[in-house]
Amino acid sequence: MKPPPFAYHAPTQLDEALALLERHGDDAKVLAGGQSLMPLLNFRLSYPSALIDINRVAELSYIRQENGQVRIGALTRQRTIEFSELVRHQLPLLYEATTLVGHLPIRTRGTIGGSLAHADPAAEYPTVALVLDAELVLQGPSEQRSVSAEEFFVSYLTTALALNEIVTEIRFSPAPPTSGWAFEEVARRHGDFALVGVASVIDADGEQCRTARLAAAGVGPTPVRLRAAEDILMQQGVTEQSIQHAAAQAAELVEPDSDIHASADFRRHLTQVLTRRAIQRALERGQEQGA
């Protein structure tokens, strides 16, 4: 089908975009890469009276290092992130996850801010933001606030973003250089949304585990931080046995639904298998970093 009619605005300044959003209220939609919103419009599942196209707001597109963080403008394309040397070195997990987001022609247009604001629980970026303790900068007409990824994801396709706010920046703190990382997922076809995905960032020294961070995608209404599984690794150290333990615990922590793609049981099983793989892969990479 074709999109329903809407008023179209293409501001070039963030201020202008915010004023338009304020003026049009909850009838308006921000249009970023369009890789989630355009299908909804084409299928008439969404009827915004106005579209505020932020693609010409150049100030929202950048990747830079500041205060020990890597800061990424919300409009930065997934493709730009994929080919960024800075991301590859400082945020290798974000790089790895990016290669799993749809296909290259999708990443040409799709943005990091759009993926986070859309908040599909099976998407890679929300899970990466959660596991890396990222902060999102939300800009309203008069105020700016920063929220953690944990606070940002509220429910299925629902975030802490107010109707008059735009995500402007995502702030990542790189993991210590001795850390390893992994994004492990199972999807039906290459480029499809994952049935389940697990992200890990682990900083270990031999069997001693300094920090372990784990999060899962596709297993509930939001991405899930697997804290009790992290605790097992941090308290028991990383051994064959504690890894099995942590993976079993991860499967206990999630409450997946059944849908046409997979049953809840299968998703729970995948959570266990993928958690184990994500821990092992992170440890291998951590050793390579240390070597």
Nearest-angstrom CA–CA distance, 238 and 132: 20
DSSP per-residue codes, 218-264: SSSSS-EE-HHHHHHHHHH-S-HHHHHHHHHHHHHH--PPP-SS--H
Residue of the chain from 18, 166, 199, 229 that contacts ligand FAD (CB under 6 A): 166
From the list other proteins, ligand FAD, none, pick the one residue 6 interacts with, judged by a Cβ distance below 5 to 8 Å according to partner type: other proteins
Looking from the CA of 220 toward its CB, the CA atoms found within 13 Å total 21
- Which segment (39-47, 206-214, 215-223, 277-285) binds other proteins by CB under 8 A? 39-47
Closest listed residue to residue 248, CA positions, set 263, 236, 261, 262? 236
Residue 47 contacts other proteins per CB under 8 A: no
From the list other proteins, ligand FAD, none, pick the one residue 113 interacts with, judged by a Cβ distance below 5 to 8 Å according to partner type: ligand FAD
- Which segment (43-51, 155-163, 203-211, 214-222) binds other proteins by CB under 8 A? 43-51
Which residues ranging from 52 to 111 are in contact with other proteins (CB under 8 A)? Answer: 53, 55, 79, 83, 102-106, 108-109
Residue 95 contacts ligand FAD per CB under 6 A: no
CB of 69 to other proteins, least distance (A): 28
Nearest-angstrom CA–CA distance, 165 and 168: 9
Q: Residue 103 corresponds to which amino acid?
A: H
Interface mask toward ligand FAD for 31-60; x: CB under 6 A: xxxxxxx-----------------------
Which residues ranging from 101 to 160 are in contact with ligand FAD (CB under 6 A)? Answer: 101-102, 106, 110-111, 113-115, 117-118, 123-125
SS3 51: strand
Helix or strand run (H / E) with residue 66: strand 63-66
Locate all alpha helices (DSSP H) within 83-226, ordered by sequence.
85-90, 92-98, 104-107, 112-118, 124-131, 149-152
Closest listed residue to residue 226, CA positions, set 259, 196, 188, 263? 196
Binding site for ligand FAD (CB under 6 A): 29-37, 74, 101-102, 106, 110-111, 113-115, 117-118, 123-125, 161, 166-167, 192-193
Binding-site ranges for other proteins (CB under 8 A): 1-8, 10, 24, 27, 34-35, 38-39, 41-43, 49-51, 53, 55, 79, 83, 102-106, 108-109, 189-191
